[in-house]
Structure 1
Amino acid sequence: MNDEKGNLYLGDAIIALSILFIVMLMLNTMVSLPNPTYSDISHNSKDAQDVMEILSGKVNFHDKTFLSEITAILKENKNSKKSVSEVSQLCDEKFDEFKLENYRFVETNHLDSKILSDSGDFTKADDVSVATRNFDGYSYTLYVW
């Protein structure tokens, strides 16, 4: 008779655990946390990254990137005022192609944070997307808002 009582307790415990497990599964499916959608929040967060990828990307291995071209101009002319103005003009033309309304393109390493191209009022920017790329010792930062 002792064996029969032990089996009864074991069976009762298995049934109780099974019921508890089923209740936990039901609660888990009934209570679901909503997944936040960040599409509204980060709508423009990748603008600067996307543009910098275009500026630093190659179509094939024989093409020069835009950043390599402006770096070569600056480096060959030893960051002269003439080379900075030439690069600024190239940057203005390039950013006009992207149709960005508010941006600022800066070289922060050799030119002491010289603004190469900009559009819009940076002081009124509230949501700024930033991307930085380095090329041959020059560090270019793009702000888009």
Structure 2
Amino acid sequence: MNDNKGSLYFADAIIAISTLFIVMLMLNMLISLPNPNYSDASHNSKNAQDIMELLSGKVDFEDETFLSVISSILKENKNSKKSISEVSQICDDKFGEFKLTNYMFIETNQLDSTVLSSSGDSSKAGNYSVATRNYDGYSYTLYIW
């Protein structure tokens, strides 16, 4: 049989590529890597980062972030004791919503490491989860243990 147009060669190539593809899929299914078992310690290490993302994130472009609200209160009142106590109350309420029991939230740049909100005894802490965010000249650090 004489094939001048190359139809048989083309069909043969398609069959060969299909067979190779099926063999590769079968090998991929046979060789499976086990899923790593992540410990709770690695999950807990992200708690502070997760909370700070919530505090610094916007729901949409019109919302103010939590950090922008407390920064504007402090800045408008020139870091007065009254503004610090107002911000501390706002922070206590916010962290109460998150149901955190062992944490410390401080401002380290403008207020010389003033504790804005805290709960729990840090001397008994084994491991800390720490996150820092900067906003408008203020540097906020959250410790969770």
2-side partners of 1:59 and 1:37: how far apart? 33
Q: Which runs of 5+ in 2 are unaligned?
A: 1-32
Q: Which has the larger radius of gyration?
A: 1
Q: Which residue of 2 aligns with 1:85?
A: 85
2-side partners of 1:40 and 1:60: how far apart? 32
Superposed structure 1 runs of 4+ greater than 4 Å apart: 33-36
Q: Is 1:95–2:89 an aligned residue pair?
A: no
1:124 to partner: Cα distance: 1.1
Q: Which runs of 5+ in 1 are unaligned?
A: 1-32
Q: Is 1:118–2:118 an aligned residue pair?
A: yes
The letter for the 2-side match of 1:129 is S
2-side partners of 1:85 and 1:40: how far apart? 35
1-side partners of 2:36 and 2:126: how far apart? 23
Deviations 1:61-114 (A, max 9, x none): 110000000000000000000000000000000000000010000000000000
Q: Is 1:136–2:110 an aligned residue pair?
A: no
Q: Which residue of 1 aligns with 2:69?
A: 69
Distance 1:41 1:35, change over 3 A: farther
Secondary structure at 2:68 match in 1: helix
Secondary structure at 1:43 match in 2: helix
1-side partners of 2:79 and 2:105: how far apart? 16
Q: Which residue of 1 aligns with 2:18?
A: none
2-side partners of 1:74 and 1:51: how far apart? 21
Q: How many residues align?
A: 116
TM-score (norm 2): 0.74
What's the % identity of the aligned pairs? 74
1:43 to partner: Cα distance: 2.8
The letter for the 2-side match of 1:122 is S
